[in-house]
Amino acid sequence: MNARAIFAIIRKDLKVVSQNKGVMLPIIIAPLILFVILPWVVALMPFLEELFGITPSDTQEMINQMPAGIQQELAGYDRYQGIVKYFLVYIMAPFFLIIPLMVSSVIAADSFAGEKERKTMEALLYTPTTDRELFVAKLLSGWLAALAVALVGFVLYVIMANAAAWSYIHRIFFPNAMWLVMIAWVVPAIPGLGLGVMVLVSSRAQGFQDAYQMGSLVVLPVIFLLVGQVSGAMSFSVTVMLLIGLVVWLLDGLLTWLGSRSFHRGRLLDA
- Give dist(CA 117, CA 106) in Å, integer: 14
CA dihedral 76, 81, 84, 90 (to 10 degrees): -10
Reading phi first (left if > 0) and then psi (alpha if -120 to 50, else beta), residue 235 is in: beta
Tell me which H or E stretch contains 231.
Answer: helix 220-231
Distances (CA, A) of 46 to 73, 160, 173: 22, 18, 20
Q: Is 261 exposed, middle or buried (CB count within 10 Å of its CB: 0-12, 13-18, 19+)?
A: exposed
- CA torsion sign, 20 to 21 to 26 to 27? positive
Q: What is the pLDDT of residues 139-183, one digit of tens each?
A: 999 999 999 999 999 999 999 999 999 999 999 999 999 999 999
- Give dist(CA 144, CA 220) in Å, integer: 23
CA count, 13 A, side-chain hemisphere, 188 = 6
| Residue closest to 28 by CA, chosen among 161, 158, 130, 156 | 156
Per-residue confidence in pLDDT tens, the chain, 271 aa:
788 888 988 998 888 888 888 789 989 999 999 999 999 998 887 677 666 666 666 666 777 777 777 888 888 888 788 889 989 999 999 999 999 999 998 888 877 766 666 666 666 666 677 878 888 988 999 999 999 999 999 999 999 999 999 999 999 999 999 999 999 999 999 999 988 888 777 666 555 566 666 657 788 888 888 888 877 778 889 999 999 999 999 999 999 999 888 777 655 555 5
Per-residue pLDDT at 207: 58
